[in-house]
Amino acid sequence: MKILALDSTAKTATVSICENERLISIYSVTAGLNHSETLLPMIENALKTAQMTVDEIDMFAISDGPGSFTGVRIGVSLLKGLAFGKQKICVGVSTIESLAYNLKDFDGIVCPVMDARRDQVYNALFMAEGGKLTRLCPDRAIALNELEIELKELTKDGKKVYLCGDGYDVTVKNTGLVFADTPTLLREQNAYSVAQTALKKYESDISADYSDRNLTPTYLRVPQAERERLERMNNN
């Protein structure tokens, strides 16, 4: 199965082309949140490198959140546009889970964190063992001090904690925890991991409806613009 996958939930946008588990091409660009300008050329370059056309793609995969509200919305809208009318498989996966996939071969607790500001991170916890991930909790927005307490409890028996995601620095800075070393490249969003997480999701339930109309952004908090609108309404 030929898979086009993308992630635009943070400052780094990434696009990959895979055939099942085989990576054919991958592009990553760190250009702030200007994904509306960078994603389409990246997709075109990835397809060109793979010597494919978009019509040859069997599955479109995307990390549909959580993350930057703008980045998530841009990515989902673009993928829906690419897939529209093609009747191809479209799979949205958790940004957090696809980040965890990067570290599935490190035995211990995998702790993806995405900076949600206001001293919070988007997060979930996974147990990695033997190259497999077991989810320990759902995706959530959690205060850093609460995450610190939770991880201290989970590591009483000496388990290692592997950190990844764009909230890496803020988590290290604002908690008193010692994290196991992880390669810098494995801390960031990776479209190959999105593709593999999507493939696993599809294979676990091939009877589900994976049409493009079911692709929607996943927000764990109300977007700032909506919060400001509600505040104005409450103040009037």
DSSP letter (8 states) at residue 226: H
Contact assessment for residue 12 and residue 95, using Cβ atoms and an 8 Å cutoff: no
Question: The CATH number of the domain where 166 resides is what?
Answer: 3.30.420.200
Residue in 99, 98, 100, 123 with CA at minimum distance from that of residue 110: 100
- Mean pLDDT over the full length of the chain: 92
Number of domains composing the chain: 2
Q: Are 183 and 195 within one domain? A: no
113 and 149 part of one domain: yes
**Same domain flag for 36 and 87:** yes
Residues 6+ apart with CB under 8 A from 61: 3, 4, 5, 6, 90, 91, 92, 93, 194, 195, 197, 198, 199
Q: Which residue has the tokens 């994976």?
A: 210
Sheet hosting strand 59-63, strand order edge to edge:
22-30, 12-19, 2-7, 59-63, 89-93
**Cβ proximity of 61 and 212 under 8 Å:** no
Q: Are 91 and 106 contained in the same domain?
A: no
Quickly count: other Cβ atoms within 10 Å of residue 232's Cβ: 9
58 shares a domain with 18: yes
The pLDDT value recorded for residue 232 is: 57
Question: Among 187, 205, 227, which residue terminates a domain?
Answer: 187
| pLDDT over threshold 90, residue 47 | yes
Read off the pLDDT of each residue in 182-207 and give the average, rounded to a whole number: 96
Domain containing residue 63: CATH number: 3.30.420.40
As a whole number of angstroms, the distance between CA 104 and CA 16 comes to: 19
> What's the pLDDT at 220?
87
**What's the whole-number mean pLDDT along residues 145-173?**
95
Q: Would you say residue 118 has pLDDT above 60?
A: yes
pLDDT grade, residue 225 (50/70/90)? very low
How much of the chain, in percent, has pLDDT values that exceed 90? 85
Whether residues 181 and 193 fall in one domain:
no
173 and 195 within one domain: no
User: Domain ends where: 150, 170, 187?
Assistant: 187
Asked whether residue 64 falls in the same domain as residue 11, the answer is yes
Same domain, 181 and 221: no
Instruction: Give me Rg for the CA atoms of the chain.
Output: 18
Q: Do 164 and 209 fall within a single domain?
A: no
Provide the pLDDT for residue 35.
87
State pLDDT tens for residues 25-41: 999 998 776 788 899 99
What would the mean pLDDT of 163-187 be, rounded to a whole number?
94
The arithmetic mean of pLDDT across residues 75-91, rounded, is 93
Residues 171-195 have a mean pLDDT of 94
The pLDDT, as a whole number, for residue 36 is 86
**Does one domain contain both 130 and 204?**
no
Question: In terms of domains, do 182 and 195 share one?
Answer: no
pLDDT at position 231, please? 53
- Split at pLDDT 50, 70, 90, the class of 221 is confident
Question: For residue 218, what are the domain limits?
Answer: 2-95+189-235
